[in-house]
Structure 1
Amino acid sequence: MRLLIVEDNVDLLDSMKQILQNDFEIETATDGEEGLFLAMQNIYDVILLDVMLPEIDGFELLKRLRNERIMTPILFVTAKDALEDRVTGLEMGGDDYLVKPFQAPELIARIRALLRRSGNLTIDHTIRYRGIELFGKEQEIKIDEHPVKLTITQYELLEYLIQNSGKIVTKEQIYDRIWGFDSDTTVAIVEVYIHHLRKKLESFGYHKDIQNVRGIGYILKNPME
Structure 2
Amino acid sequence: MTALLIEPDEGPRQALRAFLHQAQYHFDVATTFAEGAARLAGQPYDFVLLAQALPDGDGLNLLPVALRHEHHFTSCILFTATDAVEERLRGFALGADECLPKPISVAELERRMRVIVRQRVGLQRPAIHFGSGFVLDLAARRLCHNSQPVHLSRKQFDVLHLLLLRRGQAVTRQELGAHIGRHPHNHQENSNYIDVHIMNVRRALAPYAPADFLETVNGVGYRAA
Cα distance, 1:156–1:92 mapped onto 2, change above 3 Å: closer
Partner of 1:101: helix, strand, or coil?
coil
Match of 1:131 in 2: none
Q: Does 1:49 align with 2:50?
A: yes
In the aligned structure 1, how far is the partner of 2:101 from the partner of 2:60?
15
Query: 1:85 is paired with a residue of what secondary structure?
Result: helix
* 1:2 and 2:29 are equivalent in the alignment: no
Equivalent position of 1:94 in the other structure: 96
Contact 2:50 2:59 in 1 (8 A): yes
Please state if 1:172 is matched with 2:185.
Answer: yes
Which residue does 1:183 correspond to in 2?
Answer: 194
- State the distance in 2 between where 1:175 and 1:86 align: 14
TM-score by length of 2: 0.52
Does the CA contact (< 8 Å) of 2:46 and 2:74 recur in 1? yes
Q: Normalising to structure 1: TM-score of the pair? A: 0.52
The answer as to 2:64 corresponding to 1:63 is yes
Inter-partner Cα distance in structure 1 for 2:51 and 2:186 = 20
For the residue of structure 2 that corresponds to 1:94, the secondary structure is coil
Residue number in structure 2 paired with 1:16: 16
Taking every aligned residue pair, what percent have the same amino acid on both sides?
Answer: 27
Distance 1:173 1:50, change over 3 A: farther
Deviations 1:136-170 (A, max 9, x none): xxxxxxxxxxxxxxxxx98997xx9xxxxxxxxx8
Change in CA separation of 1:175 and 1:101 when aligned onto 2, cut-off 3 Å: farther
Distance 2:191 2:22 in 1: 27
Measure how far apart 1:33 and its partner are: 1.2
Aligned mates of 1:180, 1:103 — CA distance in 2: 25
Aligned partner letter, 1:16: L
Note the C-alpha offset of 1:181. 5.5
Which residue number corresponds to residue 78 of structure 2?
76
Partners of 1:27 and 1:18 lie apart in 2 by 12
Contact 2:44–2:66 under 8 Å retained in 1: no
Residue number in structure 1 paired with 2:117: 115
Bigger CA radius of gyration: 1
Give distance in 2, aligned partners of 1:113 and 1:88: 22
User: How much does 1:66 deviate?
Assistant: 3.8
**Mapped partners of 1:35, 1:180: distance in 2:** 32
Matches within 5 A, 1:124-163: none
Displacement of 1:13: 0.3
